[in-house]
Amino acid sequence: MRLLALLLLGLSSSLHAADVLHLYNWNNYISDATVARFEAACRCRLVQDYYSDNEEMLAKLAAGASGYDLIVPTGNAVEALIRSQQLRPLDKRLLPKLNNIDPAYLDTAFDPGNRYSVPYAYTITLIGYNVEKLRELGLPTDTWAMIFEPKYLVKLKGRVTVLDSQRELMAAALKYLGYSVNDTDEAHWRRARDLILRAKPYWAAFNASSYIKELTVGNIWLAHGYSSDMFQAQQDAKQAGRPFTISYAIPKEGAVLALDSMVIHKSGPRPDLAHQFIDFMLDGHNSAELTNLIGSGNPNRAALQYIDPAIAANRAVFPTPDILQRLEMLRDLDRNQRRVLSRIWMEIKMR
Amino acid sequence: MSPWAGRTMPGCFSMTRRFGRWLVGLPPTLFLLLFFVAPSLIMIVASFRLAGEYGGLAPLVEHGRWQLTLETYRFFFSDFIYVEIFIRSFSVALATTLICVLLAYPLAWLIARSPKKHQDLMVLLAVLPFASNFLIRVYAWMIILGPQAAVARALNSLLAMFGFEPVTLLFSPFAVLVGMVYVHLPFMILPLYTNLARHDPALLDAAQDLGANAWQRFWEVTWPLSLPGIYAGSVLVFIPVLGMFAIPDILGGTGDILIGNVIKEQFLGTRDWPFGATLSLMLTLAVLACAGLAAWLARRGVGRHA
């Protein structure tokens, strides 16, 4: 009898072991402590697979990857996934903590009414800089002019990197010219291209991620990049005891805000666990843990009290309402626009 | 001509022979069909299709109509910029190949002339870099060429002594070329070594006996005999360099993209598979044209030296 009970026990625990939630996530986008607590709470295993940009994730799904319960794409990629009918509508009865989210981040253009997506965290594309160097040179830090205007760039030649991303760099240029980041007028694109080409000789490189290190070691004094990367550069420089500090600011012309949201993929076998995970991450404490780890923006009002005060006070992570109004989310382009933009981008890269 | 052609052979033996040849030839033929012909056909079809709005391809048949178009080809030829990047990529591939020949030849020659017991070790050393990951090796060049590194500092202090402006090595066409040569050099050394090691030393002795000096012995005997090795190495270097996107990505500056980067961009960033397929077909065609040219040159070369 006892043996049978043991056997049953063993069987049930092995059943639990088969409860697996597959999360397709950005690199380093959840804290280990949060994972451990979730696994204890759901008595399941959280298996993560990683991507480093939305296009990579979309390309992998387009090529037929499946089995992911949850994905955490950025707004325009959420839109792409919704339109291609890859997502499962949310069952909001299973998400009692949904009203923790600041309404400013709900009901977005890419998912009206939040039928499919729940905000997770955001980053802002901005300017990171070497505080001492820029003060020494007497340069401003809160404008896109810093990466586009030759009169400033002459002092920074070879010390500036910009993001190696068509959309992000064009968005910065369009913003500086006073257009929307989602402007699709070809004439405006060409003006943005000319602005970029004029500034390019002063830039050290187009860069996707190594600007964190370059800023930290002092090779680069100014970088166009993501707020969470700048946070990491700041921390790294501090920990390495560098004689300078890294800081970052949102340009006054406005910038791109990338809101990452949790969505449930149709190919995933466990929508139940996925809902459980979403509600778990809506908890203020769990959500704050991510912000404290990587310095990401947090759309969760209940999280604020758990966030490191230094981060909570950082206006480049939690912008003032005035600045927030000038932030825009990128919308997806249609195929013809993508092809034309890609050619403009190639001209930018070749000249 | 095959070695047994023209000899009289019993019919059944010849049959077996032919069957054996067919059997041996089957796997490579299948391999080519499966991994070259079939993908190329898929690419050809894809190049005429429409891009899916969110990556991938639009359905082939929509509302009962075939969705095929010449648009990608029109787009390709509508702007000289695509031809320009082909020219640039071919120039980089050619330069890489030439530098590899210049660097690999003396080394391969040295290995082939070394005592037999040292040869294996030297070949091992030449391929040893493969033991570590490709990306790590390329990243290492970022450190070596970086502005804080000894190389750049020494060079720039030297330049300063003669009153020149300091130069940046990293993120430049130079860095891309260094990376390309470094990564592909073993592919040139190995075929060259294999070729040079097979040369009959008696030929050189004979040339010497006939009064050839060292240069003549090299230029009239060793060099022509080593041409097949150079051709093999060149193909192994030239073609991968043409498609390479990681090295310009990592070591290149703001203007150093090559065709590989553009093709990769079509499939990832731009999500424009049909145009990516077109670019990649154009590249295949260009490579085949080059290979044809090389084969023709090689045959002419062999003819001259025969």
The pLDDT of residue A289: 96
Share of residues in chain A with pLDDT > 70 (%): 95
Q: What CA–CA distance (Å, rounded) separates B46 from B56? A: 10
The pLDDT of residue B12: 58
Q: What CA–CA distance (Å, rounded) separates B135 from A182? A: 35
Q: What CA–CA distance (Å, rounded) separates A80 from A321? A: 29
Q: Please provide the average confidence, as pLDDT, over all residues in chain A.
A: 91
What angle, 0 to 180 degrees and rounded to 10, lies between the N-to-C axes of helices B259-267 and B223-243? 30
Q: Is it the case that residue B5 has pLDDT exceeding 70?
A: no
Instruction: Give the residue-averaged pLDDT of A131-149.
Output: 95
- Mutation test of the interface with chain A: which of B42, B49, B54, B136, choosing the one with the most A Cβ atoms within 10 A? B54
Prediction pTM value: 0.81
The pLDDT of residue B306: 40
Measured between CB atoms, which of B146, B249, B272 is closest to A342? B272
Q: Is it the case that residue B18 has pLDDT exceeding 80?
A: yes
Measured between CB atoms, which of B88, B255, B272 is closest to A339? B272
If asked whether residues A40 and A113 sit together in one domain, one would say yes
Its domain, for residue A138, covers 123-256+330-350
Instruction: Give the residue-averaged pLDDT of B288-301.
Output: 80
Instruction: Name beta bridge partners: A122.
Output: A259, A297
Q: Is it the case that residue A296 has pLDDT exceeding 70?
A: yes
Work out the pLDDT band at A150, boundaries 50, 70, 90. Answer: very high
pLDDT in tens, B195-249: 999 998 899 999 999 999 999 999 999 999 999 899 899 989 999 999 899 999 8
Identify which of A52, A47, A45 has the alpha carbon closest to the alpha carbon of residue A28.
A52
A62 and B56 within 8 Å at the Cβ level: the answer is yes
If asked whether residues A92 and A136 sit together in one domain, one would say no
Question: Comparing A142-151, A205-214, B4-13, which segment has the lowest mean pLDDT?
Answer: B4-13
Residue A50 phi/psi, 5-degree rounding, is -120, 150
∠B154-B158-B159 over CA atoms, to 5°? 120
Cα nearest neighbour of A82 on chain B: B54
Domain B79-305 has CATH 1.50.40.10: no
pLDDT in tens, B111-157: 999 998 899 999 999 889 888 999 999 999 988 998 878 888 888 88
If asked whether residues A217 and A338 sit together in one domain, one would say yes
**What is the Cα gyration radius of chain A?**
22
If asked whether residues A23 and A104 sit together in one domain, one would say yes
- Mutation test of the interface with chain B: which of A157, A333, A346, A347, choosing the one with the most B Cβ atoms within 10 A? A346
The pLDDT of residue B303: 52
Query: How many domains does one find in chain A?
Result: 2
If asked whether residues A269 and A219 sit together in one domain, one would say no
Instruction: Name beta bridge partners: A112.
Output: none
Q: Is it the case that residue B9 has pLDDT exceeding 70?
A: no
A311 vs B130, which has greater pLDDT? A311
Instruction: Name beta bridge partners: A258.
Output: A123
pLDDT in tens, B235-276: 899 999 998 999 998 888 778 889 999 999 898 878 899 999
Q: Quick check: A200 and A194 in contact, CB under 8 A?
A: no
B50 and A56 within 8 Å at the Cβ level: the answer is no
Measured between CB atoms, which of B147, B253, B267 is closest to A219? B147
Q: Concatenate the DSSP letters of all residues of chain B into one string.
A: --TTTTS---HHHHHHHHHHHHHHHHHHHHHHIIIIIHHHHHHHHHHTSPBPBTBSB--SEETTEE---SHHHHHHHT-THHHHHHHHHHHHHHHHHHHHHHHHHHHHHHHHHS-HHHHHHHHHHHHGGGGS-HHHHHHHHHHHHSTTSHHHHHHHHHHHHTTPPP---SSSHHHHHHHHHHHHHHHHHHHHHHHHHTS-HHHHHHHHHTT--HHHIIIIIIHHHHHHHHHHHHHHHHHHHHH--HHHHHH--TT---HHHHHHHHHTTS--HHHHHHHHHHHHHHHHHHHHHHHHHHHHHHHHH-
Task: Count Cβ atoms below 10 Å from residue A220 Cβ, excluding itself.
Answer: 27
- Mutation test of the interface with chain B: which of A343, A344, A347, choosing the one with the most B Cβ atoms within 10 A? A343
B271 and A334 within 8 Å at the Cβ level: the answer is no
Q: Is it the case that residue A12 has pLDDT exceeding 70?
A: no
The pLDDT of residue A133: 95
pLDDT in tens, B66-125: 888 999 999 999 989 999 999 999 999 999 999 999 999 999 999 999 998 899 999 999
Burial of B276 (0-12, 13-18, 19+ CB in 10 A): buried
The pLDDT of residue B167: 83
Measured between CB atoms, which of B53, B147, B252 is closest to A335? B53
Q: Is it the case that residue A337 has pLDDT exceeding 90?
A: yes
The pLDDT of residue A14: 46
- Could you tell me the sign of the dihedral formed by the alpha carbons of A262, A263, A268, A271, in that order? positive
Task: Count Cβ atoms below 10 Å from residue A157 Cβ, excluding itself.
Answer: 13
If asked whether residues A142 and A99 sit together in one domain, one would say no
Q: Quick check: A120 and A281 in contact, CB under 8 A?
A: yes
The pLDDT of residue B4: 45
- Mutation test of the interface with chain B: which of A169, A206, A219, A334, choosing the one with the most B Cβ atoms within 10 A? A206
Work out the pLDDT band at B179, boundaries 50, 70, 90. Answer: very high
Measured between CB atoms, which of A55, A56, A346 is closest to B262? A346
All structural domains of chain B with their residue ranges? 79-305
Instruction: Give the residue-averaged pLDDT of A7-25.
Output: 66
- Could you tell me the sign of the dihedral formed by the alpha carbons of A133, A139, A141, A144, in that order? negative
**Residues from B in contact with A at Cβ < 8 Å:** 50-56, 75, 79, 81, 84-85, 88, 142, 146-148, 168, 171, 249, 252-255, 257, 261-262, 265-272, 275
Q: Is it the case that residue B293 has pLDDT exceeding 70?
A: yes
Instruction: Name beta bridge partners: A163.
Output: A207
CATH code of the domain in which A65 resides: 3.40.190.10
Chain B hits for A200, Cβ within 8 Å: 254-255
Q: Is it the case that residue A342 has pLDDT exceeding 90?
A: yes
Q: If DSSP states are collapsed to H, E and C, what string results for chain A?
A: CHHHHHHHHHHHHHHHHCCEEEEEEECCCCCHHHHHHHHHHHCCEEEEEEECCHHHHHHHHHCCCCCCCEECCEHHHHHHHHHCCCECCCCHHHCHHHHHECHHHCCECCEHHHCCEEEEEEEEEEEEEEHHHHHHHCCCCCCCHHHHCHHHHHHHCCCEEEECCHHHHHHHHHHHCCCCCCCCCHHHHHHHHHHHHHHHHHCCEEECCCHHHHHHHCCCCEEEEEHHHHHHHHHHHHHCCCCCCEEEECCCCCEEEEEEEEEEECCCCCHHHHHHHHHHHHCHHHHHHHHHHHCCECCEHHHHHHCCHHHHCCCCCCCCHHHHCCEECCCCCCHHHHHHHHHHHHHHHHC
The pair of structure tokens assigned to A119 is 């905000």
A59 and B268 within 8 Å at the Cβ level: the answer is yes
The pLDDT of residue A106: 95
How would you label A197-218 residue by residue, b for 16+ Cβ within 10 Å and e otherwise?
Answer: eebbebbbbbbbebbbebbbeb
pLDDT in tens, A100-112: 999 999 999 999 9
If asked whether residues A74 and A199 sit together in one domain, one would say no
The pair of structure tokens assigned to B64 is 């009962």
Q: Quick check: B180 and B92 in contact, CB under 8 A?
A: yes
Could you tell me whether strands A160-163 and A205-207 are parallel, antiparallel, or unpaired per DSSP bridges?
parallel
Q: Is it the case that residue A18 has pLDDT exceeding 90?
A: no
The pLDDT of residue A145: 97
B85 and A350 within 8 Å at the Cβ level: the answer is yes
B227 vs B11, which has greater pLDDT? B227
The pLDDT of residue A316: 95
Work out the pLDDT band at B2, boundaries 50, 70, 90. Answer: very low
Q: What CA–CA distance (Å, rounded) separates B292 from B298? A: 10
What angle, 0 to 180 degrees and rounded to 10, lies between the N-to-C axes of helices B273-305 and B38-47? 130
Q: Is it the case that residue A160 has pLDDT exceeding 70?
A: yes
If asked whether residues A340 and A285 sit together in one domain, one would say no
pLDDT in tens, A212-252: 999 999 989 999 999 999 999 999 999 999 999 999 999 99
Amino acid letter at A324?
L
A65 vs B303, which has greater pLDDT? A65
Work out the pLDDT band at A11, boundaries 50, 70, 90. Answer: very low
